[in-house]
C-alpha cells in the first residue's frame, strides 16, 4: 500500500517537473497549396452567387451574428433573410458592401450584415444572395451566458490552404459537438505569393466556408494578416483582413478590430493583437487594463486569452518573439487567474505546465519560469498545416515549464463541462487519420482549488 502511495506521489511530482517530447515523428513530405481548380475551392453555381460565406459573433453576449460574403460580378443585395424555420425566413438584416484594391488586385464585393436580438440556444436559418442566386445556411446561437452551461470550442491556428490544411479542417469537422472555432491567427497565407496574390484570400474563403458559414470563427490577427508591402505601395497594415473579416470589437469598448473580447456561454474570451502596439499607454494596453477587472467569474468562470505569437515556446522557430508582450501582460494574467492562453505562429504543438515568470526586476536575477497555480496553461496550436511547413526543431533539453510538445499538424477541442471542469484534447493528423495525442482535465481554480498539473490523461 505504501509502495502504491509512493508511486502515485512520484508520478504526480514527476509530471509536474518534467515534460514530454513526443516520440511521434511525422513523415517529412512536401507541403504545397491545393491548386486553384481543386474542388474545395469551387465557385458556387449561379449568377453572382455569394461565396466565402462566414459568420462570427456580433456582440458581447452572443445575441448577434455578423454574416459576411462576397459577390463576384456585381454588388447584388447586402440583405440577409433569416428565421427559425427553414422555409420561413421572416426577418431581414440589411448590411453594407465594399471593395478594396491591393496592388494589381481588385476584390469582389464584400458584404457584412449583423443579425441582432437573436434568441439564445436557437437554430437559425439564413439566406444570402437575395434577388439573384440565393444560398441558404444555418447556425446555432450559444446558450445564455452563465456559469454552468456546457460549451465546446474548437481550436485551429495557422491554417493556410494546403492538403494538410484540408485534413485539419476535416478532422475538426468530424467532431460533431464543437460549436465555435477559436482561431489563433494566420488565415490564408496569400502573402506567401508574389504580390501577395489576393486571389488566395478568395480561395481560402471558399475552402473554409463549409465550416465558417455554419458556426462562428472567432478571429485573431496573425503576422500573415499584416500584408504590409511598401514595395507594392501597400502601406496600410491588415488591409485584406479588415475588409474581409469583421470582429465585434466595439461591443467590448475596443477601438480597433484586432483586440476585443466576447462572452460565449460559460467563457470570457479575450483576443489580443500581437502585431498592434501593446506598450504602456497604448490603446491595447489601456483597454486590457480596464477589461480584465470586468470579468465576473461567477458569470463566466472560464477566462481564455487568444493571441498569435506565443509567450512560452520551446521550438527554434519564432523563439522569444512573444517576449515583449509577456513582459507587459503576464503579471495581469496571473493576478486575474487566466485559465488558458492559446497561441499559434509556431507550426507545431506544445502545452505548458502552470508557470509564471514575473519576479524579475532587473537586479534580482529572478528570471526563470516557476510553477504557479495562479498562472495559465499556455498552449501553442499553430499546427493547422500551412504552406510554410512544420516546425520540427526544438530547443534541447526540453525546458521544465514545457509539459508536452510534438512537431505535427492537428487541432484541439476544449469541452467546458460546467463551472469546475473542462476536458481538453489535441488531435494530430496522422497519415490522414485523426489521433488523440494529448489530453487533460482542467479544473477551474476559481471554483476548485486543486493542482491540475498532474491531471494529464
Active site residues: 318
What's the closest the beta carbon of residue 186 comes to Fe ion, in angstroms?
4
What's the closest the beta carbon of residue 329 comes to Fe ion, in angstroms?
19
- Helices 283-291, 323-335: axis angle to 10 degrees equals 20
* Interface mask toward Fe ion for 222-261; x: CB under 5 A: xx--------------------------------------
What's the closest the beta carbon of residue 59 comes to Fe ion, in angstroms?
28
Rank residues 50 and 382 by Cβ distance to Fe ion and give the closer one.
382
CA atoms within 13 A on the CB side of 299: 11
Instruction: Note whether 347 binds Fe ion by CB under 5 A.
Output: no
Q: How far is residue 376's CA from residue 326's CA, in Å, rounded to a whole number?
A: 12
Residues 172-191 that bind Fe ion (CB under 5 A): 186
Rank residues 108 and 322 by Cβ distance to Fe ion and give the closer one.
322
Q: Which triple of cell numbers denotes residue 253?
A: 469598448
Among the residue ranges 176-184, 221-229, 399-407, 440-448, the one whose residues contact Fe ion (CB under 5 A): 221-229
CA atoms within 13 A on the CB side of 373: 13
Among the residue ranges 115-123, 148-156, 217-225, 402-410, the one whose residues contact Fe ion (CB under 5 A): 217-225
Residues 87-146 that bind Fe ion (CB under 5 A): none
Q: How many other β-carbons are positioned within 10 Å of the β-carbon of residue 451? A: 13
The CA R_g of the chain, rounded to the nearest whole Å, is: 22
Q: Which triple of cell numbers denotes residue 25?
A: 515523428
**Number of residues engaging Fe ion in binding (CB under 5 A):** 4
- For Fe ion, the binding residue among 54, 345, 351, 411 (CB under 5 A) is 345
φ, ψ (nearest 5 deg) of residue 442: -100, 130
What's the closest the beta carbon of residue 380 comes to Fe ion, in angstroms?
11
DSSP H helical segments within 352-405, as ranges? none
Q: How many other β-carbons are positioned within 10 Å of the β-carbon of residue 446? A: 16
Among the residue ranges 118-126, 249-257, 340-348, 403-411, the one whose residues contact Fe ion (CB under 5 A): 340-348
Rounded to the nearest 10 degrees, how much is the dihedral formed by the CA atoms of 5, 444, 185, 150? 110
Residue nearest to Fe ion (CB): 345
If DSSP codes are grouped into helix, strand and coil, which group holds residue 349? strand
What's the closest the beta carbon of residue 309 comes to Fe ion, in angstroms?
7
Angle ∠(115,169,105) on CA atoms, nearest 5: 70
Rank residues 54 and 318 by Cβ distance to Fe ion and give the closer one.
318
Binding site for Fe ion (CB under 5 A): 186, 222-223, 345
Amino acid at each position: 500500500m505504501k509502495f502504491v502511495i509512493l508511486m502515485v506521489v512520484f508520478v504526480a511530482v514527476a509530471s509536474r517537473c518534467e515534460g514530454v517530447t513526443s516520440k511521434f515523428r511525422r513523415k517529412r513530405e512536401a507541403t504545397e497549396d491545393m491548386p486553384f481548380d481543386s474542388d474545395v475551392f469551387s465557385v458556387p453555381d449561379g449568377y453572382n452567387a455569394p461565396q466565402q460565406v462566414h459568420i462570427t459573433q456580433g456582440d458581447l453576449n452572443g445575441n448577434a451574428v455578423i454574416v459576411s460574403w462576397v459577390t463576384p460580378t456585381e454588388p447584388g443585395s447586402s440583405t440577409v433573410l433569416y428565421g427559425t424555420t427553414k422555409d420561413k425566413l421572416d426577418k431581414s438584416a440589411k448590411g453594407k458592401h465594399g471593395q478594396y484594391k491591393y496592388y494589381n488586385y481588385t476584390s469582389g464585393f464584400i458584404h457584412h450584415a449583423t443579425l441582432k436580438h437573436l434568441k439564445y440556444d436557437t437554430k437559425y436559418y439564413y439566406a444570402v444572395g437575395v434577388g439573384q442566386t440565393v444560398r441558404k445556411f444555418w447556425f446555432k446561437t450559444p446558450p445564455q451566458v452563465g456559469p454552468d452551461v456546457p460549451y465546446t470550442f474548437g481550436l485551429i491556428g495557422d491554417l493556410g490552404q494546403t492538403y494538410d490544411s484540408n485534413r485539419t479542417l476535416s478532422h475538426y469537422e468530424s467532431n460533431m459537438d464543437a460549436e465555435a472555432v477559436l482561431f489563433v491567427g494566420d488565415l490564408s497565407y496569400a502573402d506567401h505569393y508574389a504580390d501577395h496574390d489576393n486571389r488566395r484570400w478568395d480561395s481560402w474563403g471558399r475552402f473554409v466556408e463549409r465550416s465558417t458559414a455554419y458556426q462562428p470563427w472567432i478571429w485573431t490577427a496573425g503576422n500573415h494578416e499584416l500584408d504590409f508591402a511598401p514595395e507594392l505601395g501597400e502601406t496600410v497594415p491588415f488591409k485584406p483582413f479588415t475588409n474581409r473579416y469583421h470582429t465585434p470589437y466595439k461591443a467590448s469598448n475596443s477601438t480597433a478590430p484586432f483586440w476585443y473580447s466576447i462572452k460565449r456561454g460559460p467563457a470570457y474570451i479575450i483576443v489580443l493583437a500581437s502585431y498592434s502596439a501593446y506598450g504602456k499607454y497604448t490603446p491595447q494596453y489601456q483597454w486590457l487594463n480596464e477589461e480584465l477587472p470586468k470579468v465576473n467569474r461567477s458569470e463566466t468562470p472560464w477566462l481564455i486569452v487568444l493571441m498569435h505569437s506565443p509567450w512560452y515556446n520551446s521550438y527554434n522557430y519564432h523563439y522569444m518573439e512573444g517576449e515583449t508582450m509577456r513582459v507587459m501582460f503576464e503579471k495581469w494574467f496571473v493576478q486575474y487567474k487566466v485559465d488558458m492562453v492559446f497561441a499559434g505562429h509556431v507550426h507545431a504543438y506544445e502545452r505548458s505546465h502552470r508557470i509564471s515568470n514575473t519576479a524579475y526586476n532587473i537586479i534580482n536575477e529572478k528570471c526563470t519560469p516557476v510553477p504557479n497555480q495562479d498562472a495559465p496553461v499556455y498552449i501553442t496550436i499553430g499546427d493547422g498545416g500551412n504552406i510554410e511547413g512544420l516546425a520540427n526543431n526544438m530547443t534541447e533539453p526540453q525546458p521544465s515549464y514545457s509539459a508536452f510538445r510534438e512537431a505535427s499538424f492537428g487541432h484541439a477541442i476544449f469541452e467546458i463541462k460546467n463551472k469546475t471542469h473542462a476536458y481538453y484534447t489535441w488531435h494530430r493528423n496522422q497519415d490522414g487519420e485523426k489521433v488523440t495525442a494529448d489530453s487533460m482535465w482542467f479544473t477551474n481554480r476559481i471554483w476548485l482549488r486543486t493542482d491540475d498539473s498532474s491531471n494529464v490523461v
